[in-house]
Structure 1
Amino acid sequence: MIAYFGKSIIQKVVTLFFVSVVSFLIIHLAPGEPSQIDPLNPKFTPEMVARMRTEFNLDKPLHVQYLLFYKNLFTGRIVSWRDNLPVLGKIWERFLNSLPLFVVGTILTWTFSFPVGIRSAIMRDGVYDKSATFLAYLLISIPGFFFAYILIILTVTKLHVPVIGMQTFGVTSASPLVQIMDRTWHLVLPSILGATGGVAVLSRYVRSQMLEIIGQDYVRTARAKGLSSETVYYKHALRNALLPFVTMFGLILPGLIGGSVIIESIFSWPGMGRLAYEAILGRDYPVILTLNFITAVLVLAGTLISDLLYMVVDPRIKL
């Protein structure tokens, strides 16, 4: 097991190195010079461009820029080109804003997907299965921004409460309990919106995987032995149906960084998705590269977690 961990970590470090090189090259191969942040501004003189290129090491060879960038990144000295603030500090602040949205949305998605998908598979072609299938495809088909506006209109007109932003204006002067309740309320709609599409898609995967497992010989043998339906479906079939979802579970970690640009924009939620979108529009390459690097780390960490979870789900799998 220790040898496996050592080999896996070495492979992931090598992969991370190539990801960092490729992402760095793609950024510099994009049209335009990185220093052309606001070329239409008359105050943006050639002297200012030259000073900026020197300050951010843009006048050095590409491989030197690469080494200096990641050196500054690992030492925490990399700064944003837009406001000259530390990049890691900006990312950490937005990360704390996106974390509750991500956690609640993920919990809702995985909590409702499996019961809906399993019951649809057990009651195949029944009223429940057809209703769940129709609702799932309906939620998949409705654009997220349209569904968000419907939720906002219904909530504001019926309940007469604010839903935009992370908190109500002026609530900072209220008691801590009121602030917590207000923050929780503002978290409800974005989390539900983020979970609806996930529940619709994931429940379909659960249904198809359960249907495949239910048709196996060992499931029919378990039924022939007289085992209860709950034991057959939830102990024998479900455990074997979980293997594909272990991989999916490990790959949800990048969602901590990616966020949702549409949801965060509609609800004015200052999260990671909006930060990445604003950095791309503003050509803030230090922020873009840092987010890309952290995302790659989370993807590789997620694959390692998936490998470990395979042992829990299926003891036959040996590292």
Structure 2
Amino acid sequence: MLQYILKRLLLMLPTLFGVLLVSFVVIQFVPGGPVEQMVYQLKGRGAAESAGNTSAGTGAYQAARGLSDEQLTQIKTQYGFDKPAPERFWLMLKSYVSFDLGESWFRHASVVDLIREKLPVSMSLGISSLLLTYLIAVPLGVAKAVRHGSRFDWVTTFGLLVAYAIPSFVLGVVLLVLFGGGSFWQLFPLRGLTSDGWESLSMAGKVMDYVWHLVLPVTAMVVGGFASLTFLTKNSFLEEINKQYVTTARAKGATEQRIFWRHILRNAALPLVVGLPEAIIGAFFTGSLLIETLFSLDGLGLLSYESVLRRDYPVVLGTLYFFTLIGLLGKLLSDLAYVLLDPRVQFGRVGEGQ
């Protein structure tokens, strides 16, 4: 087991290197980088000054026409583009080894501080949606497996397919119109995670206010997300129900409850539990851009989107490195959970012909 863990940890290194290398190379060819944006900004400022004051002198006209080589060199040095691309990539890797993710060019804060600032919003959405998804999907999937082929199974399947087909963003708009004071009822807040005067509320009041703000965005995320988990649960339990050992247990006179709790549940729940560590990590660190934008939630999804638009490369590459590392660790934890839950799996024997 220890040998397998060490191998997986070592395999993370080329994976991280490949992700960063491809992203860094792509960034070099993306137009409208920070240098170009600063040049356009200075040109526009100079043009506005020269248009507003015709006697401004040669400085305004110089800015309106273009920038000098010295000014361009200063801008490139400011953003680190005075060095060749291989050197910049090497310096980035050296800083990432010590988890120094750099500093944002436009927000004037370290990438680590930005992630720490935006993380609570994404965690609130992710953890709440994950809990609701499992609490709804797993019991529903078990009920569908037990009642396979019944009217309940067909009706719920149709409902799940409809829910799966509705994009979360569209559902969020519908929920805002219906329950956010659009054209019908104003039952839930439109934006944010807290109300005005939240600091003056009691602890119970703060919790209730926070949960009240989460209802609409979490609902929009959950409705289209638990269909796949429900079908996975149903298929997993249905496969175990139809196996020979269940028929044998029934022939020996075992009750249905005993068969379900002692035999079926342990084997059928294996795929669900194995994917739980990765799902939990994803819930902690994954932001939903569309939901955060729609409900004015300043989380990781909105941070990543704005960083791409503004070509804030330290934030783009730093968050990509961090999330890739977290995702690889989640995969490793899922594999380890599989070994702990199923003793038939022995990673140490892989490659030995057994």
Structure 2 length-normalised TM: 0.82
Question: Does 2:75 correspond to 1:52?
Answer: yes
Question: Does 2:331 correspond to 1:307?
Answer: no
Alignment CA distance shift 1:70-1:318 (3 Å): same
C-alpha offsets along residues 23-74 of structure 1, whole Å, 9 cap, x if unaligned? 2222223345452235532248455543232133212122210122233443
Output the CA distance in 2 between the equivalents of 1:225 and 1:143: 49
The structure with the largest alpha-carbon Rg is 2
Identity %: 33
Give the SS at the match of 1:226: coil
Partner of 1:281: 309
C-alpha offsets along residues 158-177 of structure 1, whole Å, 9 cap, x if unaligned? 35442411112343344444
Give the SS at the match of 2:185: helix
Partner of 2:208: 181
Output the CA distance in 2 between the equivalents of 1:48 and 1:237: 72
Output the CA distance in 2 between the equivalents of 1:288 and 1:58: 16
C-alpha offsets along residues 173-212 of structure 1, whole Å, 9 cap, x if unaligned? 4444433321221122222221222212210121122222
| 1:124-135 alignment, distance < 5 Å | 124-135=148-159
Structure 1 length-normalised TM: 0.90
Question: Does 2:104 correspond to 1:76?
Answer: no
Return the letter of the residue paired with 2:137. Answer: S
Q: Which runs of 5+ in 2 are unaligned?
A: 46-62, 348-354
Partner of 1:269: 297
Output the CA distance in 2 between the equivalents of 1:33 and 1:273: 21
Question: Does 2:215 correspond to 1:191?
Answer: no
Return the letter of the residue paired with 1:58. Answer: F
Partner of 2:117: 93
Question: Does 2:2 correspond to 1:2?
Answer: yes
Q: Which runs of 5+ in 1 are unaligned?
A: none
Output the CA distance in 2 between the equivalents of 1:21 and 1:77: 15
Bigger mean CA offset, 44-53 vs 296-305: 44-53
C-alpha offsets along residues 272-294 of structure 1, whole Å, 9 cap, x if unaligned? 11111111111111111111111
Partner of 1:226: 253
RMSD: 2.3
Output the CA distance in 2 between the equivalents of 1:39 and 1:280: 18
2:289–2:301 contact (8 Å) kept in structure 1: yes
Alignment CA distance shift 1:51-1:256 (3 Å): farther
Output the CA distance in 2 between the equivalents of 1:119 and 1:177: 35
Return the letter of the residue paired with 2:315. Answer: V
Bigger mean CA offset, 38-47 vs 166-175: 38-47
Alignment CA distance shift 1:75-1:129 (3 Å): closer
Partner of 1:213: 240
2:130–2:283 contact (8 Å) kept in structure 1: no
